[in-house]
Amino acid sequence: MCGIVGYVGTRETIPILLDGLERLEYRGYDSAGIACIDPAEKNIRLFKAKGKIADLKSILNGFKSPARIGIGHTRWATHGVPSTINAHPHLGAKGRIAVVHNGIVENYRELKSELERKGIQFKSETDTEVIAQLIEYYDRGNLSKAVRRAAMRFEGYLAFVALSRDEPNYLVALKRSNPLVIGIGKGEHFVASDVSAILPYTKQVIYLDDEELVEVRAKEIQITNLKSQKKVTKKPCTIKWSIDQAQKGGYPDFMLKEIYEQPHVLQEILRKRISKSHQIEFDTLGQEASRHLKSAKKICFVSCGTAYHAGMVGQYMFEEFAHLSATAIVASEFRYSDPILGKGDLVILITQSGETADTLAALREAKEKGAFTLAVVNVVGSTIAREADAVVYTHAGSEIGVASTKAYTAQLMTLALLAFYTGKLRGKISRADFRRLILEAKEIPNQVKKTLEYAKGVNQVAKLLYQKRNFLYLGRGYNFPSALEGSLKLKEITYAHAHGYAAGEMKHGPIALIDDTQPVICLIPESKTYVKMLSNIEEIRAREGIVIAIATYGDRNIGRLSSHVVHIPSQREVFSPILTAIPLQILAYQIAVLNSRDVDKPRNLAKSVTVE
């Protein structure tokens, strides 16, 4: 995540940068900053603030600068807590080079040590500072050359823009996997991570491709291939989106955008967590947490809402792969249940925002009782991330839609990896099985892509059901929590009533609801309980219920029992909740749209629930 904007031209630069950053704020908002060059002073002026763009603005306090070139950034922390020091832009030690960056420099530790050995001192905890320092180290009066040389040494997915005090007439930007776009104006040019930043100024843009380096001057731009240095000629294209659409990447809502971001998010998680030698690595976990994972007698997952459903899946995962007795409980119940916990017990708090009041209170309660607390959190530097004894980040990027989608599947993947890691520590998974699990995990982003394809058929299901006011969701084992999550998604954005149930419990009561008007969403991927689930579906069909099945591609039994089948690819059961989540999200989304609901901001809800 993070947002980048740069400008070179004839206009007052600071307002353009601030305006662009405000429109990029959805990409991250834990700190922000700008750097510009005041022609009279011939120095880089730097303004940074922890918090939102509004905080940066209040530091600037209406400051007027004659600068006509500058770069800006809004941050979503990956390396180092949100703070003024860690906010971008970062400078080289001599203050000659400023850089804003999106992505990760994976080999930043090696590069940092190398530069430190040469006597260069670092100020921040970020990987970005390495970019600025290395460019400054290589710079002998030609920014473009220095950027090219430095960029060859960075590993990882990134995009950045650099500015030099000594050549205050151009910016140099590089794209590698993370997006960058050049905006073309009259006698001015823009650089941004996202067109929404520059749309009020120009609709003519050039999208950079990977390994392209661009020199951006007021009157011209020059794109070259990083390695070959060959010139690249590109035609500008005209953006037809409105600003609002552009922020959503062309999707009508953030929720849909976030649903479609899931393959990328999962890919990123795997890239960060799985080393070249197929080991699982949790950079922020620490030895003490690993010791607790190895020796814990019991483990308790505590969370709320969607994160609670992730905790329930976590329970199955830890029991299967770490042979560890696990329970999942909602934070508001945990807190007042006087839980029996003590030294040696492990409490895993799961939260997207890291600020949920009930989860925070549960964390404090668990600590008070002497348990070791591990937070699985999305928002870096949030209160729960800071207060827990250890933290593992889910790296889903900022989630704007109130209904959690990508944050949920990111939690599931992170928990799966944590369960495999724990199983290995405890000697419960053989080397060969561990390797197989890793290889299968690596297939999941592509399988999610396929699932998104298959989910196109959900459209018809939504049209059939959107006027219904009552839904049942059924699943077993790993997909019992999926049934709860599917019904929660539907409730929160469509306002229809939906109930998730363990399919085996049907006969103990809910079966009384079934008649030919009752839609029942049945999760039946390949699993240990497949045959049992099939019998449950037979029972619903026998009472003429409307069965919508989410089943594995190639399942030959399910067609005759269902009004509609939505497929997911074949996979190991532990990963199935990641795949079944996709059609459930899309079904809720489409029913909401057909009912003209505000999917991103459903009534009565908030993204971060900071009250008990």
Task: Catalog residues that contact ligand F6R under the rule CB under 6 A.
Answer: 304-307, 351-353, 356, 359, 403-404, 488, 492, 608-609
Q: How many CA atoms lie within 13 A of 533 on its CB side?
A: 29
CB of 1 to ligand F6R, least distance (A): 16
Residue with Cβ nearer ligand F6R (357 or 594): 357
Residue with Cβ nearer ligand F6R (114 or 387): 387
CB of 255 to ligand F6R, least distance (A): 10
Of 211, 132, 189, which is closest to residue 164 (Cα–Cα)?
A: 132
Residue with Cβ nearer ligand F6R (54 or 606): 606
CB of 413 to ligand F6R, least distance (A): 15
Of 100, 99, 38, which is closest to residue 68 (Cα–Cα)?
A: 38
Residue with Cβ nearer ligand F6R (296 or 488): 488
CB of 349 to ligand F6R, least distance (A): 8
Would you name the residues annotated as active-site residues? 2, 607
Q: φ and ψ at 274, to 5 degrees?
A: -110, 120
Distance CA 285, CA 137 (A): 33
Structure tokens at 368: 């008070």
CB of 314 to ligand F6R, least distance (A): 13
Give the distance from CA 361 to its chain's centroid.
Answer: 25
Burial letters for 513-552: b for 16+ Cβ neighbours within 10 Å, e otherwise? bbeeebbbbbbbbbbebbeebbebbeebbeeebbbbbbbb
Distance CA 296, CA 96 (A): 51
Cis before residue 577, ω within 30 degrees of 0?
A: no
What residue number has its CB nearest to ligand F6R? 305
Residue with Cβ nearer ligand F6R (152 or 611): 611
CB of 486 to ligand F6R, least distance (A): 11
**Are 406 and 378 in contact, with CB atoms under 8 Å apart?**
no
Structure tokens at 106: 């994976």
Please list, in sequence order, all residues whose beta carbon lies within 8 angstroms of the beta carbon of residue 99, skipping any fewer than 6 positions away: 71, 88, 89, 90, 91, 128, 131, 132, 135, 160, 161, 162, 163
**CA 129, 131, 133: angle at the middle one, nearest 5?**
70
